[in-house]
Amino acid sequence: MIFRHIMFASKNDMYNCIIYDVYLYRMFVCLKKVIYRTRMKRNILFSVLIASLVLMTSCKPTVKSGYVNVPTVTKNALSGIYDMSPTSPTTRLYYEEAGQGEPVILLHGHSVDCRMWDDVFFKLAKRYRVIRYDLRGYGKSGMPEVGFGYLHADDLNNLMEALKIRKAHLAGVSLGGMVLTDFVALYPNRVLSATISSGAITNIPDRSSAPKVAVQLYNDTVFALQRQKVQDNLRKGVINLKKDWKRSMKQISGKRYHSIKKKLFRMIDDWPAWQWTHPEVDPFIGDQADSLLTKQKVHPPILLIIGQHDFDSSKKSMQRMASLCPGARIEQMSNAGHFTVMEYPDDFEKRLEAFINFADKTVIK
């Protein structure tokens, strides 16, 4: 820089050059500081990001998965066709478990599986021991054996036995809600609380006090009708049936249908559709729940969550449940449809946790 200044003829030229060089030097220093600070900010940001990811990974509960064996024919089933022994005495239920604390068991809907609970499973696992499982005939669980009676509620009871759970908070949506209704009716002493959404009591005649001959005649008739329905389904094809099923999902969903569509359709695609291709016996107690719930002097805490845009029969079944359990709490989820927990998972999770907290204060364990 100095040698360049000597080349100038006048002092003014040299002075101007020195001023210019000083200006460039200051600009260089400032630029260097900016680059240094930017690098530091990037390094800090990168470090914070890595730390956050490590923290999130370390805080995310570890998921344990496995299978439990349950009887092929369950003790409270009244819908069996055959008196002979099934091919296998047991079938398997797939389950996933995470977290510690009070047990919370989650039950999914028809044509989907336990992934329905993805958006609330890990949140709940921060405070509770959370179990979600695939019901018999869905997901990774075993399929029913044609003609042999079972109840989903009995399966839930046997799952709890296998996992050494005496009592639990229970939550079910759609098919899962129907299972919980049966479970509350049959096993009230095992329920800390029941949160039921999008389905409750099923319309199946009460056969518990009917003569054995009448029960067998009814079961044979229903089974024959189911066989005919299966033949019709096979002629149409499972692919076409699923297309129609997917279209119907939009009609019973709320305003967030498009946000759940991809995940919902993925589960429907994975569903083996055993119930459409085999004559299924009734896996519910139906109207028998009316008499059992009426006889109960004290009901466990029950929360009924109704989606505003759910179909009418689902709403009516839950209102019927509420009439049989006067202490049940009813809450409506505005803008939600049938798949409440998928459409508004944060809202559902808050309602569920609030009700669990309420039940913990009122139930003698």
Same domain, 324 and 356: yes
pLDDT reported for residue 203: 86
Please check whether residue 104 is in contact with residue 193, taking contact to mean a CB–CB distance below 8 angstroms. no
Whether residue 22 is predicted with pLDDT greater than 60 in this model: the reply is: no
- Given pLDDT bands bounded at 50, 70 and 90, which one contains residue 354? very high
Same domain, 21 and 110: no
CA–CA distance from 220 to each of 8, 165, 213, 282, 295 (Å)?
A: 114, 36, 11, 12, 30
pLDDT reported for residue 310: 94
What range does the domain containing 31 cover?
Answer: 2-58
Phi (first) and psi of residue 23, to 5 degrees: -60, -45
pLDDT reported for residue 43: 58
What mean pLDDT comes out for the span 341-356? 98
CA–CA distance from 211 to each of 88, 96, 186, 208 (Å)?
A: 28, 41, 21, 9
Look at residues 10, 36, 58 and tell me which one is the last residue of a structural domain: 58
Structure tokens at 303: 């929360």
Same domain, 20 and 108: no
Percent of the chain with pLDDT over 70: 83
Whether residue 54 is predicted with pLDDT greater than 70 in this model: the reply is: no
320: left (phi over 0), alpha (psi -120 to 50) or beta: alpha
Same domain, 12 and 135: no
pLDDT reported for residue 322: 93
Percent of the chain with pLDDT over 90: 76
Same domain, 185 and 214: yes
**Tell me: the pLDDT tens digits for 55-109?**
444 456 899 999 999 999 999 999 988 877 899 999 999 999 999 999 999 999 9
**Tell me: the pLDDT tens digits for 263-320?**
999 999 999 999 999 998 899 999 999 999 999 999 999 999 999 999 999 999 999 9
Is pLDDT larger for residue 18 or for residue 116?
116
pLDDT reported for residue 198: 95
Same domain, 343 and 268: yes
71: left (phi over 0), alpha (psi -120 to 50) or beta: beta
pLDDT reported for residue 96: 98
pLDDT reported for residue 2: 39
CA–CA distance from 221 to each of 86, 112, 144, 206, 229 (Å)?
A: 21, 29, 19, 15, 13
**Count of domains observed in the chain:** 2
Whether residue 9 is predicted with pLDDT greater than 80 in this model: the reply is: no
pLDDT reported for residue 42: 56
Same domain, 87 and 46: no
pLDDT reported for residue 84: 79
Whether residue 351 is predicted with pLDDT greater than 90 in this model: the reply is: yes
Look at residues 34, 58, 82 and tell me which one is the last residue of a structural domain: 58
CATH number at residue 266: 3.40.50.1820
Mean pLDDT taken over the chain:
87
Same domain, 200 and 83: yes
Distance separating alpha carbons of residues 118 and 206, to the nearest angstrom: 35
**Tell me: the pLDDT tens digits for 235-264?**
999 999 999 999 999 999 999 999 999 999
pLDDT reported for residue 7: 37
Same domain, 132 and 268: yes
Same domain, 24 and 102: no
Angle at Cα 87 formed by Cα 84 and Cα 88, nearest 5°?
Answer: 115
Same domain, 115 and 132: yes
Same domain, 99 and 159: yes
Please check whether residue 215 is in contact with residue 273, taking contact to mean a CB–CB distance below 8 angstroms. no
What mean pLDDT comes out for the span 336-353? 97
